[in-house]
């Protein structure tokens, strides 16, 4: 990771400059940042483009403190729609350079068609159209860039990607001490550089999976010290965030991952048993938490109500009949919950549907739900022929999205990491695909 910092030191300095200009430089960032991305793309600096995309998506998730008079990072929110468009334009410019297109997006083509049909049923076409285009373009282009960077930059791409991600999470940890008003919400829960504690929890979940997958597939090597640092950053941030969904998702992934090493069918049987015996398992979990005196940390009093999520789910389920087969288009669920904010808030809920299945249904109808998850399941089954680790990833995601709606959106810091991991599985990217790049002064990898 130290080597990655050295290799990309100038680029890191560039990001710092862009951040400073974005926060204090006024509207000049709206010209400078797109111009910078355009110049990098023309120079085929696709790694930098990819990292800037993740950087912008992370910044766009930030929510200002209550005392703020304006959003310092509004530029990231305003400019992030350029990401999928630029990805697509850069691919068109250098199609021969990118070579064979990974077939990740093919599994979702039927869903894209269904989502397009829902587009014509949308009440707010001006909002739904760009979100639909963004979703389709991101699913089509991210795998192309991931495979290209894997093929051309080899181990250094994955080393640098993980270094950047852990660096951003480290900034969040530092902010907890130097600027707690930014890193924490009013209740004291940690959110780091993200918008809320559940947001950082979601990101940590995906980063943990990515870290395990990189090691399992031999895509890069980390020293014993680096592995400890990565795990420490994830663990500390996770505990501080108090995100129960993230904690359970990570535990499920790691549990299934370890059982798969013994027998993949046994892992599926154990997961099925947990689902069938969910009520006794839930009661046992509550007893364990109370035994260790962690009721306040896990907010036991709100678990049964799902922190207001039950209100959101009941309301959403009452609305699906309006767009049963084909939904109201991307963004419909968000607009629906926003329009009913005052009513829902009095019932104890704030935010969206907090369930990707329900949000997909509202946005794209039951047909969209079937086509999306049918495509995802088909991709997983195909990837299983190469490595059963994808089962752990699939089960982990299926649990996680029961409580959050991030999978339905494209321009957030989670979907791009999700697509990166999915591409590794579907395209079967492995360390054997290239001759390992030597990492200077790196001791032998240790588990």
Distance of CA 376 to the CA centre of its chain: 16
Neighbouring C-beta atoms of residue 189, cutoff 10 Å: 17
The answer, yes or no, to whether residue 288 has pLDDT greater than 70, is: no
Name which of 430, 353, 357 is nearest 399 in CA terms: 357
The answer, yes or no, to whether residue 300 has pLDDT greater than 70, is: no
Could you tell me the sign of the dihedral formed by the alpha carbons of 178, 181, 187, 189, in that order?
negative
The answer, yes or no, to whether residue 349 has pLDDT greater than 90, is: no
Measured between alpha carbons, how far is 95 from 329 in angstroms, rounded to an integer? 31
Instruction: Work out the percent of the chain whose per-residue pLDDT is above 70.
Output: 87
H runs (alpha helix) in 320-355: 332-339, 341-346
- Binned at pLDDT 50, 70 and 90, residue 269 comes out as confident
Angle formed by the axes of helices 264-276 and 244-260, to 10°?
140
CA atoms within 13 A on the CB side of 263: 4
- Binned at pLDDT 50, 70 and 90, residue 295 comes out as low
- Binned at pLDDT 50, 70 and 90, residue 280 comes out as low
Neighbouring C-beta atoms of residue 348, cutoff 10 Å: 14
Measured between alpha carbons, how far is 165 from 204 in angstroms, rounded to an integer? 10
Q: What is the DSSP letter of 353?
A: -
- The pLDDT score that the predictor gives to residue 442 is 39
Neighbouring C-beta atoms of residue 126, cutoff 10 Å: 8
More confident position, 142 or 292: 142
Can you tell me the mean pLDDT for 344-354?
A: 71
The answer, yes or no, to whether residue 122 has pLDDT greater than 90, is: no
Measured between alpha carbons, how far is 408 from 406 in angstroms, rounded to an integer? 5
Measured between alpha carbons, how far is 369 from 371 in angstroms, rounded to an integer? 6
The answer, yes or no, to whether residue 67 has pLDDT greater than 70, is: no
Among 39-48, 154-163, 283-292, 379-388, where is mean pLDDT lowest? Answer: 283-292
Going by C-beta distance under 8 Å and a sequence separation of 6 or more, which residues neighbour residue 58?
A: 168, 193, 194, 203, 413
Beta bridge partners of 190: 184
- The pLDDT score that the predictor gives to residue 439 is 40
Can you tell me the mean pLDDT for 320-341?
A: 82
The position carrying tokens 């285009």 is 133
Q: What is the DSSP letter of 145?
A: H
The answer, yes or no, to whether residue 160 has pLDDT greater than 90, is: yes
Measured between alpha carbons, how far is 390 from 352 in angstroms, rounded to an integer? 29
- The pLDDT score that the predictor gives to residue 290 is 54
- Binned at pLDDT 50, 70 and 90, residue 436 comes out as very low
């Amino acid at each position: 990771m130290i080597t990655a910092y050295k290799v990309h030191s100038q680029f890191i300095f560039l990001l710092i400059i862009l951040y400073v200009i974005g926060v204090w430089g006024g509207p000049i960032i709206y010209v400078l940042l797109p111009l910078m991305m355009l110049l990098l793309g023309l120079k085929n600096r696709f790694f930098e483009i990819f990292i800037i995309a993740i950087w912008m998506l992370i910044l766009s998730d930030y929510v200002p403190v209550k005392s703020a008079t304006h959003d310092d990072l509004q530029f990231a929110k305003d400019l992030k729609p350029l990401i999928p468009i630029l990805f697509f334009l850069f691919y068109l410019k250098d199609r021969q350079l990118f070579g064979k297109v990974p077939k990740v997006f093919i599994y979702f083509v039927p869903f894209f068609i269904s989502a397009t049909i829902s587009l014509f049923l949308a009440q707010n076409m001006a909002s739904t159209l760009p979100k639909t285009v963004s979703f389709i373009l991101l699913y089509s282009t991210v795998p192309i860039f991931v495979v290209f960077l894997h093929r051309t930059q080899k181990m250094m791409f994955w080393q640098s990607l993980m270094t950047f991600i852990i660096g951003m999470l480290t900034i969040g940890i530092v902010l907890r001490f130097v600027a707690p008003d930014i890193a924490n919400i009013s209740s004291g829960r940690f959110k780091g550089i993200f918008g809320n504690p559940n947001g950082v929890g979601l990101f940590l979940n995906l980063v943990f999976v990515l870290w395990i997958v990189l090691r399992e597939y031999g895509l890069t090597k980390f020293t014993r010290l680096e592995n400890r640092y990565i795990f420490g950053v994830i663990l500390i941030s996770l505990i501080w965030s108090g995100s129960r969904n993230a904690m359970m998702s990570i535990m499920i992934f790691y549990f299934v991952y370890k059982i798969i090493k013994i027998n993949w069918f046994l892992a599926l049987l154990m997961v099925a048993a947990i689902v069938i015996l969910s009520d006794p398992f839930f009661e046992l979990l509550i007893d364990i938490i109370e035994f260790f005196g962690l009721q306040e940390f896990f907010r036991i009093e709100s678990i049964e109500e799902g922190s207001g999520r039950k209100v959101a789910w009941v309301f959403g389920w009452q609305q699906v009949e309006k767009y049963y087969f084909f939904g109201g288009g991307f963004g419909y669920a968000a607009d629906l919950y926003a329009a009913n904010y005052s009513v829902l808030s009095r019932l104890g809920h704030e935010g969206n549907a907090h369930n990707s299945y329900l949000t997909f249904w509202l946005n794209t109808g039951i047909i969209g739900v079937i086509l999306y998850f049918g495509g995802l399941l088909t991709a997983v089954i195909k990837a299983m022929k190469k490595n059963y680790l994808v089962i752990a990833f699939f089960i982990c995601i299926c649990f996680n999205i029961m409580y959050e709606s991030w999978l339905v959106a494209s321009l957030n810091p989670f979907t791009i990491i999700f697509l990166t991991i999915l591409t590794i599985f579907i395209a079967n990217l492995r360390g054997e695909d290239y001759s390992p790049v030597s990492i200077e002064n790196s001791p032998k990898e240790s588990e």
